[in-house]
Amino acid sequence: MDLEGLKVVVDSANGAAYKITPQLLHELGAEVISINDEPDGVNINLIADRCISTSWRSVLKKPLACRHRS
């Protein structure tokens, strides 16, 4: 699978796949923007307005915020 040229936002909700998912997508060629990727053992899905499992707002806003860097 080749993801070259794609920009992907990964919201791992501070869960178990916080490290491997962005790494895998990057290895497949995608430009990866990773959010909510600092688990501390108790903050899984903690911030309701920022984690994808409870809100799409953070994922929808992140590419727009990064657009000027492209």
Q: 8-60, pLDDT tens digit by residue?
A: 888 888 889 999 999 999 999 999 999 889 999 888 876 645 555 555 665 66
Note the pLDDT of residue 32.
94
| Residue 10: Cβ-neighbour burial (10 angstroms; 0-12, 13-18, 19+) | buried
Note the pLDDT of residue 69.
46
Note the pLDDT of residue 55.
58
pTM, to two decimals: 0.68
- Give the sign of the dihedral formed by CA 70, CA 27, CA 36, CA 48: positive
Does the pLDDT at position 2 exceed 70? yes
Amino acid identity, residue 25? L
Note the pLDDT of residue 14.
87
**Rounded distance between C-alpha atoms, residue 51 and residue 44, angstroms:** 9
